Structures are given as structure tokens and as C-alpha cells.
Chain A
Amino acid sequence: MSYLITLVVYGAVDVIACLGLSLQFGIGGVTNFGYIIFQAAGAYVAAILALPPESANGGFQRYIGGFDLPFPLPWVGAAVAGGVLALPFTFLVGRRLRGDFAAVGLLVTAVLLNLLVMNFVPLFNGDAGLASVPAPLQSAVMPVTSSSYQWEFAVGVVVLAAAVFWFIRHITESPYGRALRAMRDNDKVADSLGTNLLSLRTGMLVVGGAIAGLSGGVLVTFISVWSPPAWTYAETIVLFAAVIIGGRGNHVGAVVGAVLVPVGFEESTRLITNANPSLPPNLLPSLQWVAIGLLIAAFLWFRPAGILPERRRLIALPAPSTQPRAHAQQAPAEPDRAGVPDRAVVKVQPAPPSAPTSPPPADTATAPPDIVLEATDVSREFGGVHAVSGVSLSVTRGTLTGLIGPNGAGKSTLLALLAGTDRVSAGTIRYQGQDVTNVAAFRRARLGLVRTFQLASEFKRLTVLENLLSAAPGNRGAGFFGAAAGRRYWRDDEAAAIAKAADILRRFGLEGLANSNAGDLSGGQRRLVEIMRALMTEPRMLLLDEPMAGVHPELARRIGDLLVGLCRDGMTILMVEHELAIMDEFCDPVIVMADGSVLAQGTMAQLRDRTEVVEAYLVG
């Protein structure tokens, strides 16, 4: 009987730990190979909070403090400790460091901390660890050893696991969860759309760490010992195996994985050992690790989505009563659209942007009023290669400016520099009169300067509609606390974003695909998703990298017409394109680049008369 209780408690502890990892890794895409550190730290803190001062039990073991605190404070302390411990690691998960390098850093940290704790006796009592950790709520009436106490503990832990499940699902099924999943699928693109990666990843480290800490705290007060040899780095891999096998991005899958992997392995080892007592003592634990390695590789190969794959989040589109609003986008006669304030203001301007009668709204005086984006002597060097050297250009409000040039001319690099997804080696970039040279990409996006990518950049495991919604600015549920506050807090913002996304989808004729996974679309459809998603950010200026590449010519024409319409409404667009016919038809002016420099600028007709331009294009 008591064996069954132990199994239930261990299972629930594993479920809690796996749920934390499911959120951190499965939803947030943060690969924390040091996850076990947080569990161990939570366990230690719970132990010292529950233990009386050292001297009280004869000083046979050494530890920090000894606070003799009543339940549930040790558990709360464990969660807090796990969360706080995450903070020093946030430097590993910013934008600069590759995810796999950060994972290596955390793995090494787990190996090292285990070594230190085992050897540094004064602080953590060495590899002996701590014993006699008091169980919660013990009393003379109901001693810890009684089976009724044990059962109540087991039930309590199961309820706690259910509460953790409810909490992380609550967080996941919110605009915040969607932002996390977008970051997981493509962090660079999420960054370019205005997502603060550092803040999202810090949140994941802290919340995941707190849940891991809680699971450790529960465990230590149940088994009453804290044993460093049990918290090796390899234990993290067991939890990863559980989440991968159960299904990344599916919390029910994580629960299934927790029951199958850590619990199932312990059980099967015990059963085999009982049946064959003559086996060498080390053989089964070794084979158990081998089996975990095999399972990870086999699942990632044969069933990468796990037993229970991440499900598609279906969102019903509102009825097309919003159709008139969609029309307003194209017919610049109705100034009273509430949802898109910036463009509604800009839209009433006359089309020729240089017209003196149209003072632009609230720009600083440093730039000529109609220049939206201005680059001065911008250069970018890659290990001695000048991809972009000394480029100066300016883009006028309301124009659809083309950027052409042979392969390797530096067009995409220049676009990346302007958007901030790459950093300049020299030069300055001004946007709406403000120096943005050192402004991060996500902040430029929030200022309305948004780029698209040359290669497919959809968030694969999000639906088309979710791809659009992930870019909507100003959703109150897009932060951790907003998400925690609940659906009632953010549902109005969400409804507005859905209505806007529905408008855009209908304008592009893709409303039928709203609930398809973006990863399942054709190449051309994905390009459209990207443009629609960029429009969701309410941009003032778009930087498009070959938006029509691989798109059917008829559709390319439609996209072109649409872009011209947007510019007529006051948007400014800089577009890289190879197809001269498209340049001819839609772009004015056109900038020609070759070998990292601007060769010429003018209308296509003017450019055709300039021999060096024609040569550069033909020779390149």
C-alpha cells in the first residue's frame, strides 16, 4: 500500500516537473539543459525552510539557515527559489546567442553545480546531502507514518499537479502563449515583428524554474532527504525525453510522457530486478539510460511530434459584417475607421507626397518632412567582405520604391540593416527623423518599420490566422501578467485583432485557409501570409524582400496593385525585386545597387538610358 502511495507522489512530482518543461521547451522553445538545477535548488530551499536550526537536531549536518517554517511556506519558497535562480541565466537567452550554444552553457552549468555541491561541505553538506526534512502538517493526531497521512499527502500532491496543469494551460491558451509559440517556430521573424525575445525567454526561464523548484520542494518534503547524487545533469534528459515522447507543445502529452518515462522506467526496473535478483547491480540502471537515449532518437525520427502532437488552435472568423471596413482600406474616402488610427490619419493626405499642402503628422524637424527613411554612408562588413559599403539613400513618404541589382549586390543585407535584424558596421539610419541606428529590430517594428524575409518565414505550427494575430500590437494578453489575469482581461483586444485579421484575410482572398497550419501552405500562399502578417503590425513603412518570388504572375500582379493601393493610402514601401516588369509597372522611383553600392536612382525610364546601369545588371 505504501508503495502505491510513493508511486503516486513520485508520479505527480514528475508530472509537475514535466509540465514546467513542457511550457518552457514545448511552448517557449527555450532548451534548458540545466532544468534539473532548478528542481534541486527548490528542493534544497524547501528543506532548509522546513528544517529547524542546525543546533536543534544535534548539528549532525550542516546547512544554511534552518527556519522551521510551517507548511506551505517551504513549498512556496521552493517555487520562488527556482524562479529567482533563473534570473542570472537570462544573459544566455537573449537575441545574440544561438539556442544550441545557450543549451550547452546550461548543460555545463548543471554538471558543474552538481560537482560543487557534492564537494563543498560547509554550504550544502557535500554529497551526504540533507536528511530528516520534516513533512508538512505533521501532528500528534496524524503521524507521518500513518497510512491516512500518506494518502492525504498523495491526494494533495495530485491536486497540486492538476492546479499546475490548469495554470500552464491558462497561460498557453492566451495571446502570450501564441507569442511564445511564434518565437519557438522562428525567433528571428518574431523579433522583426516587434516581439521582445529577451523578455519572453526570461519569462520562460523564471516560470519554468519556479515550477521545477516547486516539484523539487514537494519531493524533498515527502522523501525527507535531499541527495545531490540524485540531481545529475542526465536527469534533465529524462524529463526532456518525457516531453518529446509525450508531445512537444501538448501539455496532456507531457503528463502522458511523465507517466511513461520517469515513472514507467522506475517501475519496469523494479519489476525486472525483483524477477531476476542475480543480475549485476549496475546493469539495469545502465541499460535504462541506453533505453532513454534510444527512445529520444527513435521518437525524434519516427514520430517527432510525440504521442499526442500539438493540436491546431481553431478560431472562428467573425461573420463578414465587417466587409465595409475592408472596402475602406482600398477606397480612401472614408476617414472614420477606428481600428487603424495611424493610417487613417495619413490616408487623407493627397497622393503626391511632395505636395506642399500636406504637412506630415508630428515629425521632428531634423529630417525633411517627407523623408520617412534615410540611410547615410551605411556599411556592413562580413570578415573583410564589404556586403554593403557607403550606401546613402532616402525614401519618400507614400512611394513604392524599388530596389534592384544583380545577385550579391547587397540588397537583402541593406534591407536587414534598415530593419535592424542586422547591425551596421558604419553609418547612420534615420526613421521619421529619429536616429534608429542602434535601435533593436523589435523596437523599430513597434515604431512602424517592419520587414519581410526572402525565405519562407511563416510560424509553421501556428494557423494562418494565428500567424496574423501574433503580429497584432497592443494586445493586453500578450504579456505574462495579462495572460495570467485571464481571458476576460484580454478578450476585447483579441476580438478586435481577430476582426482586423479577418479583414486582411478577406482582402487577400485567403479566409478559407484561416485555420490551416501555415506550414502546410504552398510557397505562394506563404508569401501572402507574410505580407498579411506584416500589415497586421500597422506599419508606416514596409521593407519587402522579394514578396513576389515564386508567386503566380497573376497573383503577383494583384499583390502589386494592393501595394500601390497601400501607398496611395499613405504607407511607404521599399521593395527588393528581381523582375523588371514588376518594377516597370509598380515602382517609382527605383534604386539600383551593385557591389554593395548605390549605382543610380530614378524612374525605370530614366534608368534604361544609363549604360552603366544596364551593364551592371546584364554583366552581374
Chain B
Amino acid sequence: MSIFMASVGFGLITSAVLAIAAVGFTLQFAVTDVLNLAFAAVMTAGAFVAYWINQLGVSIWLALVVAMIACSVLSVALNLGVYAPFQRRGTSPITIVIVSLGMALIIEFGVEAIVGGINVSYTMSQGGTLEAGGLILTTVQLTIIAISLVVMAGAHALLRYTKLGKAMRATAANRSLARNCGIRTGRVITFTWALTGALCGVAGTVFAIDVGSFGPTSTDLFVVLILAAVFLGGPGHAYGAMLGAAAIGLATEVSAAYIQPDYKYVIAFVALLATLAVRPSGLLGART
């Protein structure tokens, strides 16, 4: 297998993990109006919940479901306990971003206080390998890609074909107008936190599976990728986030094959700043 194809393989997996996180982040921002910088910290919490369940002898895939539920509950709690009260009071968006940074510190370092500064790995089998078209992937890697595809298809179906999805889009477009049209925006928002929190739990666990060994601060750099994917696609656009995740995932891993791997984040960083500078509404966002 050539270096190029190998890096494409890594790119696909990174894109798959990234897409789950980016769609969760962007939907959260679109519907709830909170630019939640604690997202990656919640991912970490989910990864560790999965770790603790996994340590009890449970399969990691079952543990993933538990992490999903845990992050869903944690996200709803964050909103009901912190963000929603601030929003009701009319706090400015930038202040809520600062609050979310505070939440990120509490969660990330709360986890670190519990587990200590060590890195851990899941107990799991990598399964066999499959080769197709010059790509060699393990069963686990294929499973991650499959999960991601299911999540993307699910997000598409939800937004496109269900009443709830339409209510989410309406709430995102104009919250007060949606409320005046009879949409229970409060419920829609709580549902969105539950859903995006679940995505966050999935993303955290598959991220941890993918990197192999992880610690409480492992997602610090992954945030750069999430934000790059979200902003590249256009903040608030689910399809944009998918597109952004594919682009950023492939670009970082393929470039890592040719330059020093430590610098692979630079390309995501440049993409993010260039988007902010040239087209803040992103590739799929409306031009203003």
C-alpha cells in the first residue's frame, strides 16, 4: 500500500470521526444559538464514560451507547442549568462563549482530577483487515466509517423529512417567528441538546478508539479540526459541516504523509482563518 493510499485511509477515518462531531456542533449552534466551546470537553467525558464501562468487561460498542446517553444527559443539563438561564437573562452571545469556556475547564479538568494525568486505552479487538482498491482498513476502522455514514444519513433524514427536523430548522432560522407559528421552541431546543449531546458522546468514543491512547486533554487539538470543519462549511449548516469534515479530515492526514505529522493541524488552522477572513459565512452559507 502506497503512502498516499495509506494517508487517504487515515483521512477517511479522521473525516468520519470529525463529521459526527462537526454535525453535532453545528446543529447545536444553529438551533440553540450557543457557540458551545465545551463541546470537546463533553466528548472527553463521553470517552471516559465508555472507558469505565469498558473496564467492567463490557464491549466497547455497548459502552459507546452508554457514553452517548451520558453525553446527551450532560448536554441537556448544561443547557437547562447554565446556558438557558443566561440566554433568558439576555446575556450577549460573546459572554455565553466565555461561560462555555468556563464549562470546558470544569468538565475537562474535572475528568482529569478524577482520572489523573494519565493516558488510557480501551480493551478491544481490532478485528481483521479488509483491502479494497489499494486501501487497507481494519474492521474497527470500517465500523467507525459505517457509524459515521449512519449518523449522516440519520441527520439528513431528520432535517429533511421529519416534522421535528423542520421545527429545528425553523427554530434555527428565526426563533421568535417559529414560536409565533406554534412551534414549541423550548422543546425543540431541549431535544437538540439531547441529540447533539448524543452525537458528542459517539464522536468522543470513536475518537478515542481511533487515536488508541487518550487522556483528559487529548481533544484540545481536535477542537481545531472541529471548528475548521464547521466554519469551512458555514456555521450552522449541517451539510456544510459534513463537507467541511471530509475536506479537513482528508487534507490534514494526506498532508501529514508528506510533511512532519506534528504540523498536520496547520492546514486546518489556515483553512479556518482563511474562511473567517474571506467568507465568514462559510462555503455553504449565504453571502452577505
Query: Which residues on the A side are within 8 Å of B101 (C-beta)?
Result: 33, 237, 240, 293, 296
State whether A111 touches B263 (Cβ < 8 A): no
State whether A292 touches B269 (Cβ < 8 A): no
Among the 9-residue stretches A282-290, A491-499, A545-553, the one with 4 or more Cβ atoms under 8 Å from chain B is A282-290
State whether A108 touches B263 (Cβ < 8 A): no
Min Cβ gap B122→A in Å is 22
A382 to B117, CA, bound (A): 50
Within 8 A of B (CB), among A105-128: 105, 107-109, 111-112, 115-116, 119
State whether B276 touches A97 (Cβ < 8 A): yes
Within 8 A of A (CB), among B198-228: 220-221, 223-224, 227-228
State whether B102 touches A296 (Cβ < 8 A): yes
Contact of A287 among B82, B113, B223, B227 (CB under 8 A): B113
Min Cβ gap B167→A in Å is 19
Residues A105 and B109 in contact in the complex (CB < 8 Å), given A111-B220, A296-B101:
no
Q: A297 interface residue, CB < 8 Å from B?
A: yes
A96 to B275, CA, bound (A): 12
Within 8 A of B (CB), among A235-293: 237, 240-241, 244, 280, 282-283, 286-290, 292-293
Contact of B105 among A92, A234, A282, A382 (CB under 8 A): A234
Query: Which residues on the B side are within 8 Å of A294 (C-beta)?
Result: 102, 106
Taking each of A115, A287, A288, which has the highest tally of chain B beta carbons within 10 Å of its own beta carbon? Answer: A115
Query: Which residues on the B side are within 8 Å of A109 (C-beta)?
Result: 269, 273
Min Cβ gap A417→B in Å is 13
Query: Which residues on the A side are within 8 Å of B277 (C-beta)?
Result: 91-92
A59-97 to B contact mask, C-beta < 8 Å, 1/0 = 000000000000000000000000000000001100011
A98 to B231, CA, bound (A): 13
Q: A562 interface residue, CB < 8 Å from B?
A: no
Q: A424 interface residue, CB < 8 Å from B?
A: no
Query: Which residues on the A side are within 8 Å of B220 (C-beta)?
Result: 111
Interface of B is mostly: helix
A442 to B277, CA, bound (A): 21
Query: Which residues on the B side are within 8 Å of A241 (C-beta)?
Result: 102
B248-284 to A contact mask, C-beta < 8 Å, 1/0 = 0000000000001011011001001100110010000
Min Cβ gap A305→B in Å is 12
Query: Which residues on the A side are within 8 Å of B106 (C-beta)?
Result: 290, 293-294, 297
A115 to B222, CA, bound (A): 12
State whether B262 touches A119 (Cβ < 8 A): yes
Q: B35 interface residue, CB < 8 Å from A?
A: yes
Query: Which residues on the A side are within 8 Å of B117 (C-beta)?
Result: 282, 286
Chain B residues bordering chain A, tally (CB within 8 A): 46
Query: Which residues on the B side are within 8 Å of A361 (C-beta)?
Result: none
Query: Which residues on the A side are within 8 Å of B103 (C-beta)?
Result: 293, 297
State whether B105 touches A237 (Cβ < 8 A): yes
Nearest residue (CB) in B for A295 is B102
Nearest residue (CB) in B for A236 is B101
A423 to B220, CA, bound (A): 38
Within 8 A of A (CB), among B83-103: 85-86, 91, 93-95, 97-99, 101-103
Query: Which residues on the B side are within 8 Å of A297 (C-beta)?
Result: 82, 99, 102-103, 106
Q: A383 interface residue, CB < 8 Å from B?
A: yes
Q: A31 interface residue, CB < 8 Å from B?
A: yes
State whether B276 touches A92 (Cβ < 8 A): yes
State whether A286 touches B113 (Cβ < 8 A): yes
A105 to B266, CA, bound (A): 13
Q: B22 interface residue, CB < 8 Å from A?
A: no
Contact of B116 among A97, A112, A237, A280 (CB under 8 A): A280
Min Cβ gap B239→A in Å is 15
State whether B99 touches A116 (Cβ < 8 A): no
Q: B168 interface residue, CB < 8 Å from A?
A: no
Q: B286 interface residue, CB < 8 Å from A?
A: yes
Nearest residue (CB) in B for A119 is B262
State whether B98 touches A296 (Cβ < 8 A): yes
State whether A300 touches B105 (Cβ < 8 A): no
State whether B95 touches A290 (Cβ < 8 A): no
Min Cβ gap B138→A in Å is 28
Q: A104 interface residue, CB < 8 Å from B?
A: yes
A296 to B95, CA, bound (A): 10
State whether A31 touches B110 (Cβ < 8 A): no
Query: Which residues on the B side are within 8 Å of A96 (C-beta)?
Result: 280, 288
Q: B37 interface residue, CB < 8 Å from A?
A: yes
Query: Which residues on the A side are within 8 Å of B266 (C-beta)?
Result: 112, 116
Nearest residue (CB) in A for B81 is A297
A331 to B35, CA, bound (A): 54
Q: A101 interface residue, CB < 8 Å from B?
A: yes
Residues A102 and B105 in contact in the complex (CB < 8 Å), given A282-B117, A283-B113:
no
State whether B98 touches A101 (Cβ < 8 A): no
Nearest residue (CB) in B for A111 is B224
Residues A111 and B93 in contact in the complex (CB < 8 Å), given A101-B276, A293-B109:
no
Within 8 A of B (CB), among A33-53: 33
Q: B235 interface residue, CB < 8 Å from A?
A: yes
Residues A108 and B105 in contact in the complex (CB < 8 Å), given A103-B94, A119-B260, A297-B82:
no
Contact of B113 among A107, A108, A244, A290 (CB under 8 A): A290
Query: Which residues on the B side are within 8 Å of A111 (C-beta)?
Result: 220-221, 223-224
Nearest residue (CB) in A for B276 is A105
A287 to B109, CA, bound (A): 7
Q: A406 interface residue, CB < 8 Å from B?
A: no
Nearest residue (CB) in A for B228 is A108
Q: B104 interface residue, CB < 8 Å from A?
A: yes
State whether B97 touches A100 (Cβ < 8 A): yes
Residues A292 and B102 in contact in the complex (CB < 8 Å), given A96-B280, A100-B94:
yes
Nearest residue (CB) in A for B85 is A301
Write 12 A-B pairs (CB below 8 A) sorted by A numbering: A96-B288, A100-B35, A104-B231, A108-B269, A112-B224, A112-B265, A115-B265, A283-B113, A293-B104, A300-B98, A301-B86, A423-B288
The 8 tightest CB contacts between A and B, nearest first, are A293-B105, A296-B102, A289-B109, A293-B106, A286-B113, A293-B102, A119-B262, A282-B117
